[in-house]
Amino acid sequence: MRLISAEGEQLGVLPLAEAMAKAAAEDLDLVKISPNAVPPVCKLMDYGKYRFEQTKREKEAKKNQRVVEIKEVRMSPGIDVNDFNVKLRNAQRFLSEGDRVKVTVRFRGREMAHTDIGKRLLEKFAEDCSETAAMDKEPKLEGRHMHMFLSPKPAKDTKK
| pLDDT tens, position by position, 23-55 | 999 899 999 988 898 889 999 999 999 899 999
Q: Report the alpha-carbon distance of residue 9 to residue 137 in Å, rounded.
A: 54
Architecture of domain 70-152: 2-Layer Sandwich (3.30)
Q: Report the alpha-carbon distance of residue 77 to residue 121 in Å, rounded.
A: 7
- Asked whether residue 69 carries a pLDDT value surpassing 50, the answer given is yes
* 147 closest CA partner among 128, 109, 121, 129: 121
> Considering the domain 2-63 in this protein, what is its CATH number?
3.10.20.80
- Domain-by-domain residue ranges, the chain? 2-63, 70-152
The per-residue pLDDT for 149 is: 92
Asked if 132 and 152 touch (Cβ cutoff 8 Å), the reply is yes
Average pLDDT over residues 57-63: 86
Looking at every residue in the chain, the average pLDDT score rounds to 88
- Count CB-CB contacts under 10 A for residue 138: 12
